[in-house]
Structure 1
Amino acid sequence: MTQLYYLDNNIISDKIKEYCVSTQFSQIRIGNETIKKNIDDVLGSKKNIKVIDNIDLLTEDSVPDEILLISSSVFSKNLSNLFKFLEFAGYSMINTFWGHNNCFVYKGDKNRLISYLKENRKKDIYFVNFPEFIIDLTSLPELKSLLSNNHDSRHFNDLKSVGDLYVKKSMNFKKLKTEYEFLANVPLHLKNYYVEVFEYKQYSDFSQYSMVSYDYKDVSYLYLSKSLTEDSFKALMSLIHKYFKESKKVTTFNYEKNSFESLLEKNNARLRELEGIQYYEELNSFIKNFKGISITDHYQRIQDELTKRKSIYYEEEYIFSHGDLCFSNILFSEQNMDIKLIDPKGYENKGMRSPYYDMAKISHSIFGNYDLIINNMAEINFNENMHAFLNFTNHDYIKNYIYSFENLVLKMKMNIKLIRLIESSLFLSMIPLHYENKRKAFMLCLRSIELYEDFLS
């Protein structure tokens, strides 16, 4: 088998260095892992990879004449496809070069490659375009698309960079249409807080709309990559507070105050979905054995406590509400001191909802550590009494954000107990959306119970 080499390129573009907070493509973080770690996890177990940081190292006698080389600026969201592509490339009988000088895969004689890269001598090399699934990390738009859509995805969404725009596609027609309607009908004084969208189109098997591309990163990425300082998070909370205040100024829409009932109905529907999951009984047994309560009893106590607080929920003035204000849906630029909100819940009830749900979504990332769970940065451990708990000890920096969020709750004069209760219900309702990953489902259920215990204390 041809030896595979991994060329660990330095990043040349200052804009990309600034955007990624990295000087090498291999060290760009996707969630909690680097590009190189992703490559190693998929390719390392199947191929013997040798890493080089300079093309001149190929001239050493220990390097065979025939090589297969991939530069670290080559990536794919589907790494199994990348592996298959490299296997295909390895069978090439001629000197073949895919991509361009700063982002490429090459199979063939090493001396021909060196002559081309150093002297632009193209003799005896066959040049080919990359397949569509390859991401060129030297392209800032492609890199932005990767980093803005890199987290655990739930609903058949596809985000692609097209010039200065992103095109979002989905097989879920209803969800994407109501999302577009919300963004297209944002009140004028709030438009600066949301991405600009246009051109909703529906085809036989998918729908899509276009949105403006911004040089911002989503907060989940900043959070997981430890790029969000305590001061920058405080600034972010100030911007969100300002957004909430502006959102209360929407008074021209006719709407119903029904979001509390909708919350209870959604919880009930998600429980029915959860009970239909193939491994539900296994999950329920785990929870009963290691947390001392069944899932249905836990669900019911959440609903009961929520119902007791219905009047508190409705005391809060309705706002033009995003409806899914989790970290991955907030784009943030500390340099511009600005946010852009993406992927709203939809335009039901003209987008008018209680701010409690949005605040609970923020809380489920801060107190709940939701982003850590779905990005495999948590562990299930057991204490001496064999009670299960989630371990986040490798991520203590998260505690630095709690004060700023609690301060936001105080400024908005909202009930923190109710926010935390809704947060607990969110973790339970999220399980059917992550059913394909049993480990995450167990963690989400366990976390819901832990958060309820926090609520009681």
Structure 2
Amino acid sequence: MTPEFNVIIDDREAPPPELEGLIGFMHFGDLLRRRKRYIDEITVAAASADDTIVLRTQADAEKLVSRIEATRGEALWLRLPAVYAPLNMDALDHVIQKMRFALDPILLAPVDIDDAPAVLFGTDAIDLIAAAPGKERRSYLLQFAQKAQDINHKAQFIDLRQPGALRDFLSNATEPRNFNSLRAETGVFVKSSSDIAKMKAEHSYFGIAPEQMRRFFLPTFGYEETKDGASYRMEHLRVPDAALQFVLGAMQPTQFDQLLDQFFAFAGSREQDTIGRKAVSAKGKTQIIDKMHDRLTVFQTTAEGQKVNAQLLAGGIPDGLDGLTKRAATLLGKALDDFTGSTLAFSHGDPCLSNILFDARIGLLRLIDPRGALERADAMMHPLYDIAKLSHSILGGYDFVNNGLFSVEVNSDLALELNLHRGGAATWIGAAFQKRLAAEGWDYQQVRAVEASLFLSMLPLHLDHPRKLLAFALIANTIITELETSA
């Protein structure tokens, strides 16, 4: 009969100061990867264990020690320090299943600094949990290593306290849309999709970008096409996207200013085509208003669209999606007519925070995943579009919704109310962005009118995560209501 097998997720250790710029002040277990907390990913992988215990405080540890003592050494314990993450999370559940049958103590990775994942019996588990971080824990593990077995596996544990390792762990944290897939090779990032036209356009974009703009992009290469899809390659920078830093609360005022400096330098570098004010307005209506109408027409034919519409109607939104569309179109029409510019701009098309790789230490900013273009004319867009894309991340809170950091509640008037868990316009970062918009000469109301349309236009693109759909519609309603009130 095999002994009781339990998994310990030890998340007591705070990140060192040098990681503050990447993840702020938080438990390692609260890191977000593809809309999931890292600690939740481990818990799911440990489903085969008899029990999974999470340690966050010293009191948690003392309670567990008492429990281990009560087993009289008859239980088996797999301690996974949260600072020591599996780079290959998909392989972790298989590793954990195998450990149930361990006959001897095991180290799942070499001792790095002062920690390592290990399979422990009785007093070993007590001693390791009680050992203080640093020299005491390192000394204990080095002695433990002399009697423990090493095994080969594919989980590839890395120490998240090392900045380079943390960047590796977070650099693939953004979840691709359901028609895309991403994979990392040695020094190279491969993006593939069944949408061949989209992949071809994204790959071609860098080649047609004006020379003065290329410093803001990653060169693309290695385009391949099959009957089932296409792919291209780009350099795999060990840099987390700005959205991740944003939702983790790691973005400090000086870093945010640096990000905005770089972004508006990009916006200012965009090549312009002068076509006249009326033509720019007409182009904007085609690219923004018509796209919104077309996508919402499709969305409302889906089961998800019909459910969202019913919820909006029940939640106090006049005329549901139709009402939102008409109100947005009215505001957009006025904003585009009031826009005084007479040029189109060579645009990225999707510079939201999740498409911005940003490292404040060296001032690096790179835009990835452009809308794409096969020829120069395909990339010429209304100048407000790129600005509104950034606004929908910062003021609209897109990345908080995209990572599941929100709730929808029914207020005292029985109306639906969206609550972002941090983020949004009513924050210091929202205020800083509004101030910067004005300083750069962009009209707040015009930008937000375009932003409202973006939240509505993206609805059919997120059918794979239905919970987000209602949130996006409610954000659009909030923006529209604000603009209507101020008008």
| Normalised TM-score (structure 2) | 0.77
Question: Residue 295 and residue 147 in structure 1: after superposition, are their counterparts in 2 closer, same or farther (change >3 A)?
Answer: same
Deviation at 1:111, TM superposition (A): 8.8
Deviation at 1:75, TM superposition (A): 3.5
Q: Deviations over 1:29-62 (max 9, x none)?
A: 558975335535775897332649999x99x856
- Mapped to 2, the partners of 1:124 and 1:238 lie a distance apart of 53
**2:77 corresponds to 1:67:** yes
- Mapped to 2, the partners of 1:450 and 1:299 lie a distance apart of 13
- Mapped to 2, the partners of 1:27 and 1:310 lie a distance apart of 42
- Aligned match for 1:288, one of 313, 320, 337: 313
* Number of positions where the alignment pairs a residue of Structure 1 with one of Structure 2: 449
Question: Residue 398 and residue 231 in structure 1: after superposition, are their counterparts in 2 closer, same or farther (change >3 A)?
Answer: farther
Is the CA contact (8 Å cut-off) linking 1:428 and 1:444 kept in structure 2? yes
What SS does the corresponding residue of 1:339 show, helix, strand or coil?
A: strand
- Mapped to 2, the partners of 1:28 and 1:279 lie a distance apart of 30
- Mapped to 1, the partners of 2:103 and 2:445 lie a distance apart of 67
- Aligned match for 2:190, one of 159, 167, 184: 167
- Aligned match for 2:353, one of 324, 327, 332: 327
- Mapped to 1, the partners of 2:481 and 2:14 lie a distance apart of 47
1:211 matched residue in structure 2: 234
**2:323 corresponds to 1:297:** yes
1:195 matched residue in structure 2: 218
1:261 matched residue in structure 2: 286
In structure 2, give the amino acid aligned to 1:74. A
Is the CA contact (8 Å cut-off) linking 2:159 and 2:165 kept in structure 1? yes
1:36 matched residue in structure 2: 39
Q: Deviations over 1:67-111 (max 9, x none)?
A: 3333432346867x6445423432456766544444865557679
Moved more, 99-108 or 151-160: 99-108
Deviation at 1:364, TM superposition (A): 1.0
Deviation at 1:285, TM superposition (A): 1.8
Question: Residue 47 and residue 430 in structure 1: after superposition, are their counterparts in 2 closer, same or farther (change >3 A)?
Answer: farther
Moved more, 362-371 or 264-273: 264-273
Deviation at 1:341, TM superposition (A): 0.9
Deviation at 1:433, TM superposition (A): 2.0
Deviation at 1:204, TM superposition (A): 5.3
In structure 2, give the amino acid aligned to 1:210. R
Is the CA contact (8 Å cut-off) linking 2:25 and 2:250 kept in structure 1? no
Is the CA contact (8 Å cut-off) linking 1:9 and 1:26 kept in structure 2? no
2:368 matched residue in structure 1: 342
Moved more, 166-175 or 108-117: 108-117
- Mapped to 2, the partners of 1:406 and 1:452 lie a distance apart of 17
Question: Residue 24 and residue 400 in structure 1: after superposition, are their counterparts in 2 closer, same or farther (change >3 A)?
Answer: closer
Is the CA contact (8 Å cut-off) linking 1:96 and 1:108 kept in structure 2? yes
Q: Which runs of 5+ in 2 are unaligned?
A: 129-138
In structure 1, give the amino acid aligned to 2:442. M
Question: Residue 398 and residue 310 in structure 1: after superposition, are their counterparts in 2 closer, same or farther (change >3 A)?
Answer: closer
2:456 matched residue in structure 1: 428
Q: Percent identity over the alignment?
A: 20
In structure 2, give the amino acid aligned to 1:49. I
Is the CA contact (8 Å cut-off) linking 2:351 and 2:389 kept in structure 1? yes
- Aligned match for 1:419, one of 447, 459, 473: 447
Moved more, 197-206 or 324-333: 197-206
- Mapped to 2, the partners of 1:46 and 1:266 lie a distance apart of 52
- Mapped to 1, the partners of 2:20 and 2:436 lie a distance apart of 33
**2:66 corresponds to 1:47:** no
Deviation at 1:19, TM superposition (A): 4.7
1:130 matched residue in structure 2: 154
- Mapped to 1, the partners of 2:448 and 2:119 lie a distance apart of 56
In structure 2, give the amino acid aligned to 1:201. E
**2:278 corresponds to 1:277:** no
Question: Residue 250 and residue 192 in structure 1: after superposition, are their counterparts in 2 closer, same or farther (change >3 A)?
Answer: farther
Moved more, 340-349 or 214-223: 214-223
- Mapped to 1, the partners of 2:13 and 2:397 lie a distance apart of 33
- Mapped to 1, the partners of 2:293 and 2:111 lie a distance apart of 55
Question: Residue 104 and residue 197 in structure 1: after superposition, are their counterparts in 2 closer, same or farther (change >3 A)?
Answer: farther
| Normalised TM-score (structure 1) | 0.81
Question: Residue 376 and residue 46 in structure 1: after superposition, are their counterparts in 2 closer, same or farther (change >3 A)?
Answer: farther
- Mapped to 1, the partners of 2:57 and 2:323 lie a distance apart of 57
Is the CA contact (8 Å cut-off) linking 2:34 and 2:175 kept in structure 1? no
Matches within 5 A, 1:38-187: 38-40=41-43, 43=46, 47-49=51-53, 51=55, 64=73, 66-72=76-82, 73-75=84-86, 82-83=92-93, 85-91=95-101, 98-102=108-112, 106-107=118-119, 117-119=141-143, 125=149, 127-130=151-154, 136-137=158-159, 143-187=166-210
Q: Which runs of 5+ in 1 are unaligned?
A: none
Question: Residue 443 and residue 197 in structure 1: after superposition, are their counterparts in 2 closer, same or farther (change >3 A)?
Answer: same
What SS does the corresponding residue of 1:385 show, helix, strand or coil?
A: coil
1:306 matched residue in structure 2: 332
Is the CA contact (8 Å cut-off) linking 1:31 and 1:224 kept in structure 2? no
Deviation at 1:347, TM superposition (A): 1.0
